[in-house]
Amino acid sequence: MSDELRELYQELILDHNRKPRNRRAMTDATADADGFNPLCGDKVHVFVKLEGDRIADVSFDGQGCAISTASASLMTTALKGKTLEEAREIFDRFHAMVTGEPGAPIPEEKLGKLAVFQGVCEFPVRVKCATLAWHTLKAAIDRTSGQVSTE
Amino acid sequence: MQRLATRPAFDVERVRKDFPILEGRVWCKPLVYLDNAATSQKPRAVLEALDRFYREHNSNVHRGVHWLSAAATKDYEGARDKVRAWIHAADRAEIVFTRGTTEAINLVARSFARPRLKRGDEILVTGMEHHSNIVPWQLVCEETGAKLRVVPIDDRGQLLFDEKLLTPRTRLFAFVHVSNALGTVNPAQELVRLARARGVPTLVDGAQAMPHLRVDVQALGCDFYAFSGHKVFGPTGIGVLYGRKALLDEMPPYQGGGEMIRRVTFEKTTWNDAPYRFEAGTPDIAGAVGLGAALDYLSTLDWDALHAHEQALLARATGALSALKGLRIIGTAREKSALVTFAMDRVHPHDIGQILDQEGVAVRTGHHCAQPVMDRFQVPATARASFAFYNTLAEADALVAALSKVRELFP
Q: Which of residues 20-39 of B touch A (CB under 8 A)?
A: 27
Q: How far apart are the first and last CA of chain A?
A: 31
B27, closest residue in chain A (CA to CA): A2
Would you say B183 and B339 are in contact if contact means Cβ atoms under 8 Å apart? yes
Q: Which of residues 101-140 of A touch B (CB under 8 A)?
A: 123, 126, 129
Would you say B161 and B112 are in contact if contact means Cβ atoms under 8 Å apart? no
How much is the pTM?
Answer: 0.92
For residue B314, the enclosing domain spans: 12-38+302-409
In a domain, B243, yes or no: yes
Mark whether B286 and B376 lie in a shared domain.
no
Mark whether B194 and B245 lie in a shared domain.
yes
3-state secondary structure of B169: coil
Would you say B111 and B87 are in contact if contact means Cβ atoms under 8 Å apart? no
CA distances (Å), A108 to each of A90, A93, A95, A114, A138, in order? Answer: 11, 10, 14, 8, 22
In a domain, A147, yes or no: no
Average pLDDT of span B152-179: 97
Cα(B58)–Cα(B67) distance, integer angstroms: 11
In a domain, B312, yes or no: yes
Mark whether B230 and B320 lie in a shared domain.
no
**pLDDT band for position B1 (cuts 50, 70, 90):** very low
Q: What angle do CA B407, A62, A128 make, to 5 degrees?
A: 75
Element of type H or E holding B204: strand B202-205
Instruction: Give the number of domains in chain B.
Output: 2
A8–B354 C-beta distance less than 8 A:
yes
Would you say B88 and B219 are in contact if contact means Cβ atoms under 8 Å apart? yes
Sign, CA torsion A15/A18/A19/A24: positive
Q: Tens digit of pLDDT for each residue in B314-335?
A: 999 999 999 999 999 999 999 9
Mark whether B228 and B373 lie in a shared domain.
no
| Interface with A, mutate which of B131, B346, B350, B375 (most A CBs under 10 A) | B350
Among B274, B298, B322, give the residue marking a domain's end: B298
Cα(B35)–Cα(B338) distance, integer angstroms: 11
DSSP letter at B178 equals B
| pLDDT at site B7 | 63
Contacts of B407 (CB under 8 A, 6+ apart): B324
Would you say B287 and B39 are in contact if contact means Cβ atoms under 8 Å apart? no
CA distance B366 to chain A (A): 5
In a domain, A146, yes or no: no
More confident residue, B128 or B4: B128
Check whether B130 has a pLDDT greater than 60: yes
Q: Of residues B28, B141, B222, B369, which has the active-site annotation? A: B369
| pLDDT at site A125 | 86
**pLDDT band for position B18 (cuts 50, 70, 90):** very high
Among B298, B333, B368, give the residue marking a domain's end: B298
* A chain contacts of residue B377, beta-carbon cutoff 8 Å: none
In a domain, A150, yes or no: no
* A chain contacts of residue B371, beta-carbon cutoff 8 Å: 41
Average pLDDT of span A141-149: 61
- B404 CB near a chain A CB, below 8 Å? no
| pLDDT at site B257 | 83
**pLDDT band for position A151 (cuts 50, 70, 90):** low
| CATH number of residue B325's parent domain | 3.90.1150.10
| pLDDT at site B164 | 96
* B chain contacts of residue A9, beta-carbon cutoff 8 Å: 351, 409
Check whether B336 has a pLDDT greater than 80: yes
A41–B381 C-beta distance less than 8 A:
yes
**pLDDT band for position B4 (cuts 50, 70, 90):** low
Smallest Cβ distance to B367: which of A41, A63, A129?
A41
**pLDDT band for position B296 (cuts 50, 70, 90):** very high
Task: Quote the radius of gyration of chain A (alpha carbons, Å).
Answer: 14
Mark whether B235 and B89 lie in a shared domain.
yes
CA distance A13 to chain B (A): 11
B347–A9 C-beta distance less than 8 A:
no
Among B283, B298, B313, give the residue marking a domain's end: B298
B347–A66 C-beta distance less than 8 A:
yes
Low-confidence winner among A54-63, A105-114, A132-141, B22-31 (lowest mean pLDDT): A105-114
More confident residue, B64 or A127: A127
In a domain, B5, yes or no: no
Element of type H or E holding A77: helix A66-79
Cα(B219)–Cα(B201) distance, integer angstroms: 15
For residue A121, the enclosing domain spans: 3-141
Mark whether B242 and B270 lie in a shared domain.
yes
Mark whether B232 and B257 lie in a shared domain.
yes
Mark whether B181 and B316 lie in a shared domain.
no
A15, closest residue in chain B (CA to CA): B410
Sheet holding B122-126, edge to edge: B95-98, B239-243, B224-228, B202-205, B170-176, B122-126, B147-151
Sign, CA torsion B85/B90/B92/B97: negative
Q: Which residues pair with A60 in a beta bridge?
A: A23, A46
The dihedrals phi and psi of A36, each to the nearest 5 degrees, come to: -145, 135
Would you say A150 and A124 are in contact if contact means Cβ atoms under 8 Å apart? no
Average pLDDT of span B351-364: 96
* A chain contacts of residue B380, beta-carbon cutoff 8 Å: 41-43, 63
Q: Tens digit of pLDDT for each residue in B381-397?
A: 899 999 999 999 999 99
Instruction: Give the number of domains in chain A.
Output: 1
Low-confidence winner among A24-33, B281-290, B360-369 (lowest mean pLDDT): B360-369
A14–B410 C-beta distance less than 8 A:
yes
| pLDDT at site A145 | 41
Would you say A46 and A133 are in contact if contact means Cβ atoms under 8 Å apart? yes
A1–B408 C-beta distance less than 8 A:
yes
The secondary structure of B258-313 as a DSSP string is: SSSEEEE-SS-EEEPPTTGGG--SS--HHHHHHHHHHHHHHTTS-HHHHHHHHHHH
CA distance B355 to chain A (A): 7
In a domain, A54, yes or no: yes
In a domain, A136, yes or no: yes
CA distance A2 to chain B (A): 7
CB pairs under 8 A between A and B: 54
| pLDDT at site B5 | 55
Q: How far apart are the first and last CA of chain B?
A: 60
| CATH number of residue A122's parent domain | 3.90.1010.10
| CATH number of residue B101's parent domain | 3.40.640.10
Low-confidence winner among A145-149, B3-7, B312-316 (lowest mean pLDDT): A145-149
Mark whether B150 and B56 lie in a shared domain.
yes
Mark whether B329 and B392 lie in a shared domain.
yes
- Is B222 one of the annotated active-site residues of the chain? no
B347–A64 C-beta distance less than 8 A:
no
Is the bond preceding B275 in cis, omega lying within 30 degrees of 0?
A: yes
Mark whether B113 and B225 lie in a shared domain.
yes
In a domain, A149, yes or no: no
* Strands, E assignment, B104-146: 122-126
Check whether B369 has a pLDDT greater than 90: no
In a domain, A110, yes or no: yes
Check whether A144 has a pLDDT greater than 70: no
Smallest Cβ distance to B380: which of A2, A63, A66?
A63
In a domain, B4, yes or no: no
Q: Tens digit of pLDDT for each residue in A42-69?
A: 889 999 999 999 999 999 999 889 999 9
Average pLDDT of span A78-103: 92
- The Cβ of residue A91 has, within 10 Å, a number of other Cβ atoms equal to 20
Cα(B207)–Cα(B211) distance, integer angstroms: 8
Mark whether B395 and B248 lie in a shared domain.
no
Q: Residues of chain B with pLDDT > 90: what percent?
A: 88
CA distance B399 to chain A (A): 15
